[in-house]
Structure 1
């Protein structure tokens, strides 16, 4: 029972996942700080922060009360998601991809040898047999 658990924990995938969760939680704090200190103030230039929940269509229900569909909350969530995705892409993903490209360019090019197919080998054997039989 414990051996199976030890084998499960010792697998590379579990360790990689644990490291990813820890790094991800630390990474979340960085992304949230960038969004809160840069992106949110930019959005605040165009929208009043307190009014987002009141934004949306208003309808009267069957009892005569007005009901507001708070699309402002949805809009705020979409803007926040796009802001986080934008920060992650331009601050982290794009520079990392450029760095990987530069690292790959520094590595010598590997020439891949393409092995002949079975059909090509059979054709070569046939041609060699014909040459040998006609030379006699």
Structure 2
């Protein structure tokens, strides 16, 4: 095996072992399961609500591009060119419901959490800076108080005199 093939395999192994790939795989599996839930909501709740005004199945709504469109008893088009806009509406509703649930149950709470966390982190850093400055100021005040207690000329010499 050549070094190029070994490096490609090593790179691929490193890619697979990163946490991002595992997170992505989990997201795909959860997304697939969640899609079934949303499809059930659309078919079990949204379609019957639309059915109150027309047919119970959005997939049956269509227009005919080439007249006349005729269907058999099963609803399959025998003649003409139908435009199945009901299927598109059903898919759009599924997408909007999925996006809303993901946004309101996952994205919005996470962004609020991260904003709160960043705010707390900034506050901690600000307090740390204030404490460091305050500590320095207190030490300066103590030094000044000690110098003033000794009186003028009794302060600590700034340079050493030669003996």
Instruction: State the TM bucket, normalised to the shorter chain.
Output: 0.5 to 0.7
Q: Of 13, 36, 55, which residue of structure 2 is paired with 1:9? A: 13
Distance change >3 Å, CA 34–CA 54, structure 1 → 2: closer
Matched residues in 2 for 1:90 and 1:79: separation?
16
Q: Normalising by the residue count of structure 1, what TM-score does the alignment of the two structures yield?
A: 0.61
Structure ID, larger Rg: 2
The gaps in structure 2 that reach 5 residues or longer are 69-78, 127-163
**Which residue number in structure 2 is paired with residue 88 of structure 1?**
102
Where has structure 1 moved over 3 Å in runs of 4 or more? 36-42
CA distance in 1, matches of 2:111, 2:80: 52
Structure 1 gap ranges (5+) = 112-136
The structure with the greater share of residues assigned to strand is 2
CA contact under 8 A between 1:56 and 1:68: conserved in structure 2?
yes
Specify which structure has the bigger relative contact order, considering alpha-carbon pairs within 8 angstroms and separated by 6 or more residues: 1
Give the number of equivalent residue pairs: 107
The CA RMSD over aligned residues, in Å, is 2.9
Q: Is the 8 A contact 1:53 1:73 kept in 2?
A: yes
Q: Distance in 1 between the 2:20 and 2:116 partners?
A: 28
The correspondence for 1:55, drawn from 41, 55, 61, is 61
CA displacement 1:57-85 (0-9 Å, x = unmatched):
22416xxx444311101111111111111
Q: How does 1:92-103 map to 2 (within 5 A)?
A: 92-103=106-117
Q: Where do 1:1-136 residues align within 5 Å?
A: 1-11=5-15, 15-29=18-32, 31-32=34-35, 34-36=37-39, 38=41, 40-48=43-51, 50-58=56-64, 59-60=66-67, 65-109=79-123
Check 1:39–1:100 CA distance in 2 against 1; reply closer, same or farther (3 A cut).
Answer: farther
